[in-house]
Amino acid sequence: MEHVKTIESLGKLVKAMRQQGKTIGFVPTMGAFHKGHMSLIETAVNQSDFVVVSIFVNPTQFAPGEDYEKYPRTIDADLKLCSDVGVDIVFTPSAEQMYPTENLTWVNVEKITAPLCGQFRPGHFQGVTTVCAKLFNIVLPDIAYFGQKDAQQAIIIKKMVSDLNIPLEIVVCPTIREDDGLALSSRNHYLDASQRQDAALIYKSLQTCRKEIENGTKEPETIIEKIRYTLQQAASIQIEYVSILDAESLNDLDNINGRVLVAVAVKIGQTRLIDNIIVDASEY
């Protein structure tokens, strides 16, 4: 495995691989790997001839006042994990490599960036789409892998790739969970023992919702109230949003029909956690 820090070196290595006709799989990450990341990386290793993992805590996707400075950085452990599963290149550019001059160019996706996390993290998705566009141009992968845990991000990236004709397939991999259902997140490390216990209510609330939809409940507000009720069992949980939206367009729904995205964001202490499920309501 090669550990590459400059865009120029990476460009040469991937160009050589492409010229050999190898398919390139790419997993863009911010590091601090858990089993969720590793499932993306292992899928890439299984599906592609040559796998590039980037680790870059991208400053432009943190909203003012967010945790850019304290975001966990575990580069040595991350490198070992990549090496163990057969990654070919880990790319860890500095902020100066990625933004060598004042960045004036932003990739903006309208509408689907507005609801959910878009309401609470100003500039976040603009930072994500821009850095992904940059990384896609640097790596020129055939396939890139994203997690279902960041459902809105995956939908936005897919739309950007389609709208801009980026020659790339996006694969979205399932959310990986702890035994009690908590979705794996690098930010789970911020939780103390009591907060960690309360955090299990997030997935529990989504399971409640799934049962309601399976039972034929069609009014989004009824289900949203049940999710909120479950979350409010823990005083530590402050709800940011609970939303049920069309899983493709992220439009509001009058009635629950077709594939719906049920998405929750909460704060537990200072830690912001998100989770979601997709339910095909047309089956019920």
**Residues labelled as active-site residues:** 37
Strands 169-173 and 89-91, bridge-based pairing: unpaired
Does 103 contact a second copy by CB under 8 A? yes
Does 106 contact a second copy by CB under 8 A? yes
Which residue, 129 or 153, is less far from a second copy as judged by CB?
Answer: 129
Distances (CA, A) of 173 to 32, 200, 248: 18, 21, 16
Which residue, 168 or 277, is less far from a second copy as judged by CB?
Answer: 168
Which residue, 142 or 198, is less far from a second copy as judged by CB?
Answer: 142
Sign of torsion over alpha carbons 267, 268, 269, 271: negative
By C-alpha distance, which of 210, 223, 218, 215 is closest to 257?
218
**Nearest distance from C-beta of residue 12 to a second copy, angstroms:** 12
Which residue, 161 or 202, is less far from a second copy as judged by CB?
Answer: 161
Binding string, residues 21-50; x marks residues near a second copy by CB under 8 A = x-----------------------------
Does 8 contact a second copy by CB under 8 A? no
CB 244 within 8 A of CB 210: no
Does 270 contact a second copy by CB under 8 A? no
How many residues sit in the footprint of a second copy (CB under 8 A)? 31
Which residue, 38 or 135, is less far from a second copy as judged by CB?
Answer: 135
Strands 50-55 and 89-91, bridge-based pairing: parallel
Q: What angle do CA 111, 148, 228 make, to 5 degrees?
A: 75
Secondary structure of residue 25 in the 3-state scheme: strand
Binding string, residues 132-161; x marks residues near a second copy by CB under 8 A = -xxx-xx-x------------------xx-
Stretch of 45-53, 101-109, 210-218, 257-265 lying at the interface with a second copy (CB under 8 A): 101-109
**Nearest distance from C-beta of residue 129 to a second copy, angstroms:** 8
φ, ψ for residue 32, nearest 5 deg? 55, 55
Does 221 contact a second copy by CB under 8 A? no
Rounded distance between C-alpha atoms, residue 150 and residue 11, angstroms: 28
CB 258 within 8 A of CB 282: yes
* Residue type (1 letter), 29: T
CB 274 within 8 A of CB 261: no
Residues that bind a second copy (CB under 8 A): 7, 11, 19, 21, 101, 103-112, 129-130, 133-135, 137-138, 140, 159-160, 162-167
